[in-house]
Amino acid sequence: MASSTQKVATFALLVATAVWGATFVTVKDALSGSDVFTFLSLRFTVGALTAGTLALVLERRGGFSVAALKAGVGLGVLLYGGYALQTVGLETTTPARSAFITGLAVIFVPFVSWRLTGQRPPTRAFVAPAIALLGLQQLTGVSLNDPIPTGDLLTLGCAVVYAIHIAGIGQWGKGLPVLQLTAVQLSVVAVLSAASLPFVERRFEPTGSYWAAVLFTGVVASALAIGAQVWAQAQVTAVRAAVIYSLEPVFAISWAAVTGLGWPSVAEWVGGGFILAAVMVSEVPLPSVAAPATPDSRPQRGASRTTRP
């Protein structure tokens, strides 16, 4: 049974996932006001400043630790790769398709985690992502027979990088100051995004809604949500976290419905049900079934009892 800390961590990941689900529509709209890397530079600069300020105020440890700097740089490079691929892909794909393909990270995480730790996850860790994949397919209606556009291929690359990042946080982030690790990651993304600007066509026509998107994605979706992710993944397995993240398309489509882009179809509701089932499979271990004891196999009084594995 999950401890109270694990339950809080699971809830934190659900909230973070809900926030990230809302950003698909937000970012898609924001890209009408600037190029990808200008937006990412602004978003993650805001996020880094927020997380860094919180780290200095709440984690009074005499400055950033060397361990947090080392781990944060590596994880930040992965985070930059994931966000860059996802955001560039969003220019030519829909928020629903982007959410679906990003959700494919849940398939890769068990194998990345296995590679990093050398420990094979329980069987249900492999079953749950398969159920989640079926749900994601039902949710968005993507057919395997459809040709894969460039934007979707970029987002598929994003899913692979995100899987490595999710597993990496679980492996390298444990025991490190949460806000420091978050601030370093976001700073790396901001710097790499700014360094990418000379290599792309610049476009900057901001509006009030654009700046609102920068603030929301920078403060809430980056500093706070990624900070929650770093803390929560120290409490739960990377595979369990990945299956929770598979709820992201559910939140993305719900947000699209709330903002007037349409209510989910029957297929989308069915897909959401499969995803919730996947989360339950990941969370609840299957009970072991023991063979009934025979008269000869019952332990005698005073004999030691053994527990069936």
Residue 272 has pLDDT above 80, yes or no: no
pLDDT confidence of 305, banded at 50, 70, 90? very low
105-120 CB burial, b ≥16 within 10 A, e <16: bbbbbbebbbeeeeee
Is 174 a domain residue?
yes
| DSSP-assigned letter for residue 275 | H
How far apart are alpha carbons 129 and 228 in whole angstroms? 22
- pLDDT at position 95 is 80
Cβ contacts of 82 within 8 Å, gap of 6 or more: 158, 161, 162, 165
Calculate mean pLDDT across residues 166-188. Answer: 90
Does a structural domain hold residue 94?
yes
Percentage, residues of the chain above pLDDT 70: 83
Which helix (H) or strand (E) is 84 found in, with range? helix 66-90
Domain count, the chain: 1
What is the pLDDT averaged over residues 196-221? Answer: 95
| Residue 303: pLDDT band with limits 50, 70, 90 | very low
168-182, 258-272, 275-289, 290-304 — which is least confidently predicted? 290-304
pLDDT of residue 307: 27
Residue 205: pLDDT band (50, 70, 90) is very high
- 3-state SS assignment for residue 204: strand
Give the mean model confidence (pLDDT) for residues 213-232. Answer: 94
pTM comes to 0.80
Domain membership flag for residue 130: yes
Whether residue 18 is contained in a domain is answered as: yes
For the segment 10-37, the average pLDDT, to the nearest whole number, is 92
Look at residue 294 and tell me if it is in a domain.
no
The answer to whether residues 247 and 106 touch, using CB atoms and an 8 Å cutoff, is: no
Look at residue 307 and tell me if it is in a domain: no
pLDDT at 250 over 60: yes
pLDDT (tens digit, 9 = 90+) per residue, 60-78?
A: 766 788 999 999 999 999 9
Predicted confidence at residue 118, as pLDDT, reads 85
pLDDT-derived band at 15, boundaries 50, 70, 90: very high
- Closest to 100 (Cα-Cα) out of 230, 222, 274, 261: 274
Residue, of 183 and 284, whose pLDDT is higher: 183
Is residue 201 included in any domain, yes or no? yes
Kindly state whether residue 292 falls inside one of the protein's structural domains: no
Could you list the residue range(s) of the whole structural domain that residue 38 is in? 9-283
pLDDT band of residue 271 (cuts 50, 70, 90) is confident
Is residue 193 predicted with pLDDT exceeding 70? Answer: yes
Percentage of the chain lying above the pLDDT 90 cut: 41
What is the pLDDT, as a whole number, of residue 4?
Answer: 87
Higher pLDDT, 200 or 283: 200
